[in-house]
Amino acid sequence: MKKLSIVLCLIALLAVPSLFAQAKGEVQDQKITTITWWHSNSGLLGKAADAMVSEFNTGIGKELNIQVESVYQGKSSDVLTKTKAIFQSGSNSELPDLVQLDASGVLDIRDNQYLISMEDLAKKDAYDLNQILEAAKLSVTYKDSMIAMPFNSSTILLYYNKTALEEAGISTPPRTLDELAETALKLKKTDEKGKTIRYGFANVPTTYELIVWLGHQNGVTYITDQENGHTGIPTKVLFAENGTMETFLTKWKKLYATGSLENLTSDVNGAFASGRVAMMVGSTSNLTTVHQMIGDRFEMGVAAFPMVDEQANGGVNVGGGALYALDNGSNNSDKAWEFVKFATSKEQQLAWHIATGYFPVNRDTYTMDEFNTHLEANPLYGVAIRQLQASNPKLQGLWIPSAYQVYYAFQTGILKMLVEDKTPKETTVSLEKEINGYLEDFLRMNQ
Task: State whether 149 and 200 are in the same domain.
Answer: no
Task: State whether 262 and 168 are in the same domain.
Answer: yes
**Contact between 387 and 304 (Cβ < 8 Å):** yes
Task: State whether 440 and 292 are in the same domain.
Answer: yes
Task: State whether 256 and 182 are in the same domain.
Answer: yes
Task: State whether 84 and 138 are in the same domain.
Answer: yes
**Contact between 270 and 212 (Cβ < 8 Å):** no
Residue 208 counted as domain residue:
yes
Predicted confidence at residue 24, as pLDDT, reads 43
Residue 69 counted as domain residue:
yes
Residue 276 counted as domain residue:
yes
**Amino acid, res. 140:** V
Residue 362 counted as domain residue:
yes
Task: State whether 89 and 230 are in the same domain.
Answer: no
Predicted confidence at residue 104, as pLDDT, reads 81
Task: State whether 304 and 175 are in the same domain.
Answer: yes
Residue 134 counted as domain residue:
yes
Element (H, E) at 36: strand 33-39
Task: State whether 287 and 433 are in the same domain.
Answer: yes
User: How far is the first Cα of the chain from the last one, in angstroms, to the nearest whole number?
Assistant: 89
Residue 323 counted as domain residue:
yes
Predicted confidence at residue 13, as pLDDT, reads 42
Element (H, E) at 278: none
Predicted confidence at residue 3, as pLDDT, reads 42
Predicted confidence at residue 313, as pLDDT, reads 87
Q: How many CB atoms lie within 10 A of CB 296?
A: 5
Taking the model in full, what pTM does it have? 0.88
Residue among 205, 247, 163 nearest 412 (CA) = 205
Say how many domains are in the chain: 2
Low-confidence ranges of the chain (pLDDT < 70): 1-29
Residue 18 counted as domain residue:
no
Q: How far, in Å, are 179, 182, 248, 440 from residue 175 at the CA level?
A: 6, 11, 15, 37
What CATH code is carried by the domain that includes residue 409?
3.40.190.10
Task: State whether 312 and 329 are in the same domain.
Answer: no
Task: State whether 47 and 120 are in the same domain.
Answer: yes
Predicted confidence at residue 406, as pLDDT, reads 95
Predicted confidence at residue 90, as pLDDT, reads 84
Give the domain range for residue 132.
Answer: 33-153+319-367
Task: State whether 352 and 422 are in the same domain.
Answer: no
pLDDT in tens, 196-254: 999 999 999 999 999 999 999 988 999 999 999 999 999 999 999 999 999 999 999 99
Residue 239 counted as domain residue:
yes
